[in-house]
Amino acid sequence: MTRNMRKERDSSISTPIAKPVVLVFMGVSGCGKTTVAAILAGRLGWRFEEGDALHPQSNVKKMEAGHPLTDEDRAPWLEKVARWVEERLDAGENGIITCSALKRSYRDVINRRGSGVVFVYLAGSRETIAARLAVRHGHFMPSRLLDSQFADLEEPTPDEPAIRVDIGPAPDVIAQGILEKLGLSD
């Protein structure tokens, strides 16, 4: 992707974001959603939800067994994520949640109101993410499902409220860059 295309992709977020807002950290498994989102939630003092905790147990068992989820499997989970987002917005609160949100149709469910949501897409190469997954322990998502995640991934388009963030730097540097991109830094 060229530098100009990246600028166009981020053009939907060109001024400081209005509040309340929910940031949805998205991307394939192993891209650093939880790590970076937790850092940012701590810095901002915003409520944080690990989206994986909202998966039905049947989804967790399926992934643990090495089977990729289908759209039908993801539907109840995406509904829980969307409800969490709406609860924050209805309460006038800011929030941060992680959710792979791999497809445009998934993001449309999460952002069904059409406002109050910004997707933070943590982007990295398959090789970088595979190396991270190889050393990750204690997560139900096996590294052998990474290819299915990349196969499903539809990067956010310029008409979506999203920013693209490279996962190369250290997590705290990524978090600071996100704050700056969204106009939330001091």
- The mean per-residue pLDDT over the stretch 156-174 comes to 95
CA atoms within 13 A on the CB side of 167: 26
Average pLDDT over all residues of the chain: 85
In this predicted structure, what is the pLDDT of residue 121?
97
CATH, domain range 21-181: 3.40.50.300
Q: Where are the domains of the chain?
A: 21-181
Using pLDDT thresholds of 50, 70 and 90, give the confidence band for residue 144: low
In this predicted structure, what is the pLDDT of residue 16?
54
In this predicted structure, what is the pLDDT of residue 112?
96
CA atoms within 13 A on the CB side of 32: 24
Q: What is the pLDDT of residues 55-79, one digit of tens each?
A: 888 888 887 787 878 899 989 999 9
Using pLDDT thresholds of 50, 70 and 90, give the confidence band for residue 17: low
Out of 50-54, 59-63, 90-94, 138-142, least confident range: 138-142
In this predicted structure, what is the pLDDT of residue 11?
41
Alpha-helical regions (H) of the chain: 3-9, 33-44, 57-64, 71-90, 104-110, 126-135, 146-152, 171-181
Q: Which helix (H) or strand (E) holds 24?
A: strand 22-26
In this predicted structure, what is the pLDDT of residue 18?
62
Distance CA(120)–CA(97), nearest Å, equals: 10
Give the residue among 98, 107, 100, 102 at the shortest CA–CA distance from 151: 102
